[in-house]
Amino acid sequence: MRRPQLSQLVAALVGGLIAAGALVAVGFRRGGSPARTVIDELPVGAPGSSGFSPQRIYARDAAGVVYVVAKVVEETTSPFDPFPTRQSGSETGSGFIIGSDGTILTNAHVIDGAVRITVELANGTVLPATVIGKDPDDDLALIKIDPSGQTLDVLPLGNSSSVAVGDPTVAIGNPFGLQRTLTTGVVSALAREIQAPNGFTVGNVIQTDAPINPGNSGGPLINAAGQVIGINSQIQTAGSSGSIGIGFAIPINTARFVIPQLEQHGKVIEGYLGVATTSVTPALASLDLGASSGALIESVASGSPAARAGLRASTRTVTLADGVTQLKVGGDIVVSIDGHAVRSDQGLESAIIRQAPGTTVTLGIVRGRRRRSVTLTLGTRPESMSAAG
């Protein structure tokens, strides 16, 4: 049921920085910068008087953060040369150890297209890594090293559902190749949406003002207790090549759901509905649509389970009283699934992707202010948004 990003943020190419105001994945093309440990000074106004100690967190967790180097071979074609040209390079990023067996969590875009992956531990040991599985929809990947002869520092995982705006955060990673750099900040917003490299939307994302830069991708976002609450993935830019204080981390609870499937199948097998939705906000509800909350269907993918079941998309655009805000209305509003209330677009998404393909579900919908039920069979999540139709 993953849907295309509907906000004004723009997806980034892996390892690249694009136009002003864009959302970018924070992988990094390796250059000649020397690797060294850097601890940024605690920003003025950061919570340092209530038990929050970046120094203690760094001392305990930094050794569990690894430096990931992915050798990538790209083929380019030219109208003047009938044969493709192969070019090799290295994409670098971060990861962190989640198992004493050598299992490491990182971003999928850090290792995308890699023909060889190496991991450098805190003690300087460089080891080859193999891919266990990738989930491009959530921009997550599991890789593994042979732990023989190594003492691995496993990072404790927290609960991203208990995170609140204003909570202190620590990011540890390898920005611009500067290994195990620490930056601090706070959780600046919750329930954000970002666009994964394959075009699908990642929901419930944590926003932080802890400085995150190219090379931080795949590194941990850590709470005051030293537990991982997210995986740093993207930044919002304003024409600069680095952080302006808006970074995004995939919530660790998303990873908790994904990891067992990656370990078992090498990929995530999720249910698929085939709709793009938006939450029914108070502004939408004020238009007397028949529902005060839920997921308003804005578009329906051709040939999808939703299309076969006759679900309807928004048919017209309205302008609110402010004369500026435009909203699409007229589509079905999903208010429940199998009797459980759906209060937002992310609520619908979470409910669908946790169902196995082939599962029959009953959706409660509001159509033209009248409530009705629609029963349908979920499909299998496509590999990319373009394949979703």
- Please give the sequence-ordered ranges of beta strands (E in DSSP) within 56-195, or none if there are none: 65-78, 81-97, 103-106, 114-120, 126-135, 140-144, 168-173, 181-195
Q: Which of 25, 31, 32 is nearest to 11 (CA)?
A: 25
Question: CA of 364: how far to CAs of 124, 138, 305, 329, in Å?
Answer: 56, 27, 15, 18
139: annotated active-site residue: yes
| Gyration radius (Cα) of the chain, Å | 22
**How many whole angstroms separate alpha carbon 322 and alpha carbon 330?**
20
- The burial class, CB within 10 Å (0-12 / 13-18 / 19+), for 92 is buried
b/e for 281-301, b at 16 or more Cβ within 10 A? eeebeeeebbbebbbbbbbbb
For residue 222, give the H/E element and its range: strand 220-222
Which residue matches tokens 């994945």?
25
109: annotated active-site residue: yes
Which residue among 61, 94, 109, 138 is the active-site one? 109
Report which DSSP code applies to 239. Answer: S
**How many whole angstroms separate alpha carbon 222 and alpha carbon 364?**
38
286: annotated active-site residue: no
The number of CA neighbours under 13 Å toward the Cβ of 4 is 13
Helix (H, G, I), strand (E, B) or coil at 46: coil
Which residue matches tokens 């033209």?
368
Tokens standing for 326?
């435009």
Which residue among 139, 167, 209, 332 is the active-site one? 139
Residues 46 and 183 sit within 8 Å (Cβ to Cβ): no
Q: Which of 82, 64, 68, 177 is nearest to 114 (CA)?
A: 68
Sign of torsion over alpha carbons 66, 269, 202, 159: negative
- Would you name the residues annotated as active-site residues? 109, 139, 217
